[in-house]
Structure 1
Amino acid sequence: MVDIDHLIKVIVEPLCQYPEKLNIVQHESDRFIEFDLKADPSDVGRIIGRQGHVVQAIRNIVYAAKTNYQKRVRLNIN
């Protein structure tokens, strides 16, 4: 099974100019295991990409990963 926190870091860190400011917080809601990604404001544009294509690709990878969670996984960018 995949550690989603580590998977997100491995994908996002190369995109960031300030990877040391990257922070991932996990919390649980009724239907989802949510991962809140916080980054330096200058890196957010790189993570989201033009018209959101980069973040959509990241979400597709994260959502497709096999996990032990009984709930669905959600990735939020703050």
Structure 2
Amino acid sequence: MKELVEVLAKALVDHPEEVRVNEVVKDRSIVYELSVAPEDMGKIIGKQGRIAKALRTVVNSAAAKEKKRVTIEIL
């Protein structure tokens, strides 16, 4: 799952070498903390958060197959 977030984020930004994904396991969910270069922040969030929402939707769909609860936080 972490690799999925990383691959999707790297495809969207201009500086893929600065994409970092940190996995934090909580009681019943997994939180992925995504950090990118400051100039790529707008590309990850998108207009009115559309790209961020789409990224979360794709990851939630993949997690549903494994019966896990996943969230993405953009730092």
- With structure 2 as the length reference, what TM-score do the two structures score? 0.88
- Larger relative contact order (C-alpha < 8 A, sep ≥ 6)? 1
Alignment-derived partner of residue 58 in structure 1: 55
**d(CA) in 2 for partners of 1:71 and 1:57?**
18
Q: Does 2:66 align with 1:31? A: no
- With structure 1 as the length reference, what TM-score do the two structures score? 0.85
RMSD: 1.2
The DSSP-based 3-state class of the residue aligned with 1:14 is helix
Structure 1 unaligned spans of 5+: none
Structure 1 segments of 4+ aligned residues over 4 angstroms from their partners: none
After the TM superposition, which of the residue ranges 24-33 and 35-44 deviates more from structure 2?
24-33
* Percent of aligned positions that are identical: 36
Greater share of helix = 2
Structure 2 unaligned spans of 5+: none
Alignment length (residue pairs): 73
